[in-house]
Structures are given as structure tokens and as C-alpha cells.
């Protein structure tokens, strides 16, 4: 079941990256920072996912 869960998360990753890129482009001028492209948004998204995934797994184990 874990393998199919990973496969199901792939479209969510690309969609999350796209949304991050769009929102960053709207917010960036307000803070005086550069806009980012899709590849940088993918890098930021995977970094966030790698940080949050162990926390989510630990929380899931704690509930059992």
C-alpha cells in the first residue's frame, strides 16, 4: 500500500510547486524579493516535504 501512496503523491507535488510559484510571484513584489521559476518552486516544495514528512510520520505513530 505504501508504494501506491507515493505514486498518488506525485501529482500533488507538481501541483503544489505550481501553486507556490504563482503565489510567490504575487507576494514577492510586496517584500522586494525576486520572483522564482518553476524549478526553484519544485526545489522549495521538495525541501518542505522532506521536513514535514518525518513530523507527520511521528505524529501518526504517536496516535497508535
Summarize pLDDT for 13-59 with one digit per residue, the tens: 999 999 999 999 999 999 999 999 999 999 999 999 899 888 888 88
Read off the pTM.
Answer: 0.76
Angle ∠(23,34,28) on CA atoms, nearest 5: 35
Residue 19 confidence (pLDDT) = 97
Per DSSP, the chain holds a count of helices (H) and strands (E) of 2, 0
Residue 63 has pLDDT above 90, yes or no: no
Amino acid at each position: 500500500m505504501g508504494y501506491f501512496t507515493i505514486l498518488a503523491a506525485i501529482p500533488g507535488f507538481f501541483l503544489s510547486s505550481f501553486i507556490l510559484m504563482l503565489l510567490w510571484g504575487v507576494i514577492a513584489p510586496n517584500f522586494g524579493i525576486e520572483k522564482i521559476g518553476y524549478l526553484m518552486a519544485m526545489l522549495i516544495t521538495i525541501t518542505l516535504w522532506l521536513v514535514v514528512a518525518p513530523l507527520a510520520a511521528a505524529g501518526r505513530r504517536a496516535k497508535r
